Chains A and B, each alone.
Chain A
């Protein structure tokens, strides 16, 4: 749990920690509730001459009241406490997502129908492919030049809306060198499905020599 409180390094960690809590609780609650329902059904299924319950509603009546407020409120209180603790965890995670690391490299991203443009701090523009040094956080300033897109790097558990006229800020950090897919997660026209870019995380030395060669040119 310490990872959830202030020590988080990557967007992947933030998401995975929260996801495991939610999915574990979700599966347990789902199984318990549905099993209980099935149990009640099997147990109370009418067989042969099973007697009619005493308070069964009779034709032409107004609805009968059946007590149970206490039991119900208790159950709701129980689930409320689960849900509220989930929300507190969410707010902690959100705080971390909202606070980009100070050492982040800043990249401007412009989405278009149907691709991605990246602008490095030195003004270099790349289309479709973003190179970053692994281990360094990247802070994205994301906008769109035409319609509503969403920039998502699902392997990094990173996502942000790209909205024309508005710049949104997000960050991620990747430790593992490699290629990560950048995809659009908001329907943006015919090419939505193929609006795919690449994030290439390089060894820092490699990146530096590549990046400085840009400056030289």
Chain B
């Protein structure tokens, strides 16, 4: 089997090795629906517990575990991945690309996601999984939660964040660099536009979660005291978590808005109302989403100025949403509406979201939030937005693109049946929860006057669950018995419908381009210009498996970790050495990155996420210094000499990296290898000095858990040191190739890309040195 053709869909090999975006999309779709069943089953479990005021279906601990993992799975492992199932399949088609920019990284994202989910599921079998609420409040989930299952679940989340980071980079580069000629950014189909804004939010939000998880894991496993000290504690976590958490709400929602916008246009046969204003509103929401997180913390007793600022931003963000939803509705004016299943779900989602949005204004009002905080009102509100706006909207997308993905038409009657069940079940489940607004969340018992409301909710929950069974049946049944759908069954106008259903591996016969606003296919592509593209690689799977084993070993048996790390090294080398062809079209619309090739763009996108990671870790340090009444004077706790020596070492190593690059550019093999070797030596010296410094501190009895100055020092410089170590591994690889003459003739860009990383690590140290040693 050649790697540029795909094995048939009936083989295991195809699904393990595929890197084609459409296959990966299907994998995401199936997996996210599987986790929907898991998360849904957990929900039904606690709905059963709540079918009576004082039942004993679940123990209090089991109840907390069910509630917690339900939340985490639904938000992180169902809704977003379902959105990215559609995005994987549809975005390249909508922009006229042959695949995502980095097909192997795309497969890697998927497998990391799957294995992250597997870790979370495994944690159920370690006595107790996460039982501390999906928001992981502190110090409950650090000092007060000794269970190993919590660690495993947390590591599962870390794998998911890795997956998200990889796919963020991939989608940013793809949407900026792989658009068909003539497809300007402002002319993107709304789904792709929303995915672009989603990944940009992901780029800056998820590293904060990663920082939080790293600090939390370090508290739990290494014994640092970030969250067990009152100076860090509950409020520091709140800030970090919600700085990620609020953008995450829109990350979950935006793809569904994109689906809804595309579906509305197709089935109402009219252009989107005030499209440019919708786009502007969405950009404003995406930006503002990073400035509203404090409204989750109104009762923590924050500074009045800050509280007022967060109120204003929170209310302000409701206005662009207003514009978006009203535009959707005005789109229907003088239209010709066909109420097919996708349209029903899109309209249903809008109606539900309106209720979620209005109740959101209630919660934005601090004085009301003071009373509604921590109650079922909040639960109802975010289910109306995230489940109603997000999940129900995405279901519209699943039906809408099902004919494109399978070539078959689903059963319309069953689709409508599901719609009716979904709407009835959804509102029976969640509306009574608004009315239960006096009841605290996450509590397995309740007073008798709430029996009717809670019982209606439980019945609604089962109806909602059943509606998804109807959908699964419909999707499976139609796969076999559905009518052939044709290329464009809905008469839609966007590019994904201008190819076969399902599309061939390379998507389009010919290169799509918009000339004077009209689509044409300007040249035959595929094998015509050069070697055929690769669609198979084993390394994404191996790499993910290796990461999974490494992390699993940390909470079970370290043997797994050893095997995992070995496999990891092997897979990285395999990936790096593999011959994999994925070409960028020669022509295309690439504003504003025309002169930035895709590797460079990918590296800078990744660096941006690293900026966030270190930014949040350093902010946490500044935060605890501000809250701490006393802090050792500079020079008394940590030895300035060590810091200064390491500063000069790293600065010099940055110089040797650029000199290696300069040597490669003028074709000097000796210079390239020599300067790389110097960099390696300097990096080793840095770590050696760091080792001495840490040993001295340990020798003085200063450890991770001594106090906050020690904790912050060890963790911050530790994360930085890990980055140096990773860089050294990369240099070793580069050096081994340079010694055989690489880079000096061609490929010196690789050194440039490596330099981005290495200099970034240097920049971080440039801040760590003064902040920890001098200030």
Contact = CB atoms under 8 A, between A and B. Distances in A.
A and B touching (C-beta < 8 Å)?
Answer: yes
A26 B334 contact: no
Given A30-B354, A53-B269, A57-B271, A193 B488 contact: no
Interface string A170-193: 000000000000011111111111
Contacts of B276: 65
A130 B359 CA distance: 34
Interface stretch (B9-17, B136-144, B203-211): B136-144
Interface string B33-66: 0000000000000000000000000001101100
B269 A22 contact: no
Interface size class of A (residues with CB under 8 A): 35 or more
Interface stretch (B82-90, B315-323, B558-566): B315-323
Nearest to B488: A59
A164 interface: yes
Given A161-B300, A168-B300, A41 B137 contact: no
Contacts, number: 269
Interface string B159-197: 000000000000000000000001100010110000000
B365 A86 contact: yes
B230 A94 contact: no
A119 interface: no
Nearest to B521: A60
A2 interface: no
Interface string A30-58: 10011011001100111000111101111
Contacts of A19: 368, 371
B668 interface: no
A189 to B, nearest CB: 6
A63 B270 CA distance: 10
A78 B317 CA distance: 15
A59 B493 contact: yes
B301 A83 contact: no
Interface stretch (B99-107, B242-250, B388-396, B437-445): B437-445
B298 to A, nearest CB: 9
B140 A188 contact: yes
A63 B189 contact: yes
Q: Which residue, of A79, A87, A93, A147, has the highest number of chain B Cβ atoms within 10 A?
A: A147
B497 A68 contact: no
A160 interface: yes
Given A26-B359, A63-B187, A159 B299 contact: yes
A186 B374 contact: yes
B517 A159 contact: no
Contact of A53 (B300, B335, B358): B335
A154 B438 CA distance: 6
Interface in B426-451: 438, 440-445
B144 A62 contact: no
A109 interface: no
Interface string B323-344: 1011101111111111100000
B347 interface: yes
A197 interface: no
29 contacts: A29-B358, A30-B355, A51-B336, A53-B334, A59-B493, A59-B519, A60-B518, A61-B493, A62-B517, A66-B273, A66-B275, A67-B274, A68-B273, A68-B327, A72-B330, A76-B319, A79-B322, A83-B318, A83-B319, A93-B367, A94-B367, A98-B304, A147-B139, A148-B138, A164-B234, A165-B234, A166-B300, A168-B301, A193-B443
Interface of A: 14-15, 18-19, 22-23, 26, 29-30, 33-34, 36-37, 40-41, 44-46, 50-53, 55-69, 71-73, 75-76, 79-80, 83-84, 86-87, 90-91, 93-94, 97-98, 113, 146-148, 150, 152, 154, 157-161, 163-166, 168-169, 183-194
Interface of B: 60-61, 63-64, 67, 131-133, 137-140, 144, 182-183, 187, 189-190, 229-231, 233-235, 265, 268-277, 299-301, 304, 308, 311-312, 315, 318-319, 322-323, 325-327, 329-339, 347, 350-351, 354-355, 358-359, 361-362, 365-368, 370-371, 373-375, 438, 440-445, 488, 491-493, 495, 497-498, 514, 517-519
Given A57-B270, A76-B319, A193-B443, 10 more contacts: A53-B269, A56-B269, A59-B497, A59-B519, A63-B493, A66-B271, A86-B365, A90-B311, A150-B373, A161-B300
